[in-house]
Structure 1
Amino acid sequence: DELITAIEVPLARWASRSRYLKIRDRESYAFALASAAVALDMDGETVRSARIALGGLATVPWRAREAEDTLQGKVLDEATAQEAAEAAFADARPREHNAFKIPLGKRTLVRALLETRDMKG
């Protein structure tokens, strides 16, 4: 019998600053109400490139390419992070019972972007 205890993945240069943020109900340890995975390649305060995936907000996770494109070549501040969040959810069509997830998803992405920006990379 064998047991895998670790997997080592080489760090990509563009992922030297990366963060996963999971928002969940206080009583739950399972599914995220919203989640954001962010990887940034920065040149000082300017975003060279970004990779963003969002989860817990739709039937499947998705890559937020519109948000990535919004960030490229810009200084990442709160206004730019908010602009990226708006781009990520521009085509969102919530159902009646889960409309709360759009503002939650936007706040989650903004927080993940700013926390990732502030990491040493």
Structure 2
Amino acid sequence: MELPPPHAAVRSRYRKVRDRASYAFALVSVAAALEVTDGAVRDVAIALGGVAHKPWRATTAEAVLRGAPATRESFVDAAAAELAGARPLAGNAFKVPLARNTMVATLLELLEEAR
């Protein structure tokens, strides 16, 4: 997956969640870039890892967030919208809430940096 390079006002972050005893693959990872102007999301890019057979661009969440208030509630709504159609395999249903919470936490960190 290739994301276009951000411009100077954009903050970005990568977060990897893994088993405590493991140094291997991520259970879930989130790469996100966020640009906030006047309290609203001007632009956003989000990709998820560990939730599909390849990296997953979170286009539904991005669409929900563009123009929305840069708030925890907006981030929660966007993550829920992105994962609403998730169909986990047996034994990995825990990844859905893990991905949702990791996405929200990553976006909140970026919002805090932007302030």
Q: TM-score, normalised by structure 2?
A: 0.89
Q: Which residue of 1 aligns with 2:6?
A: 12
Query: Residue 111 and residue 58 in structure 1: after superposition, are their counterparts in 2 closer, same or farther (change >3 A)?
Result: same
8 Å contact from structure 1 (residues 14, 49) kept in 2: no
Q: Which residue of 1 aligns with 2:16?
A: 22
Out of 94, 107, 112, the position equivalent to 1:113 is: 107
Deviation at 1:74, TM superposition (A): 1.1
Q: Which residue of 1 aligns with 2:57?
A: 63
SS in 1 for 2:91: helix
Query: Residue 53 in 1 paired to residue 44 in 2?
Result: no
Structure 1 spans left out of the alignment, 5+ residues: 1-10
Out of 69, 72, 83, the position equivalent to 1:75 is: 69
Structure 2: distance between partners of 1:120 and 1:58: 30
Q: Which residue of 2 aligns with 1:3?
A: none
Who wins on radius of gyration, i.e. which is larger? 1
Out of 88, 98, 106, the position equivalent to 1:94 is: 88
Query: Residue 89 and residue 80 in structure 1: after superposition, are their counterparts in 2 closer, same or farther (change >3 A)?
Result: same
8 Å contact from structure 1 (residues 23, 35) kept in 2: yes
Identity %: 48
Deviation at 1:115, TM superposition (A): 0.5
Aligned residues: 111
Deviation at 1:98, TM superposition (A): 0.5
Structure 2: distance between partners of 1:23 and 1:13: 27
Q: TM-score, normalised by structure 1?
A: 0.85
8 Å contact from structure 1 (residues 55, 62) kept in 2: yes
Deviation at 1:16, TM superposition (A): 2.4
Deviation at 1:75, TM superposition (A): 1.2
Aligned CA RMSD, in angstroms, stands at 1.6
Structure 2 spans left out of the alignment, 5+ residues: none
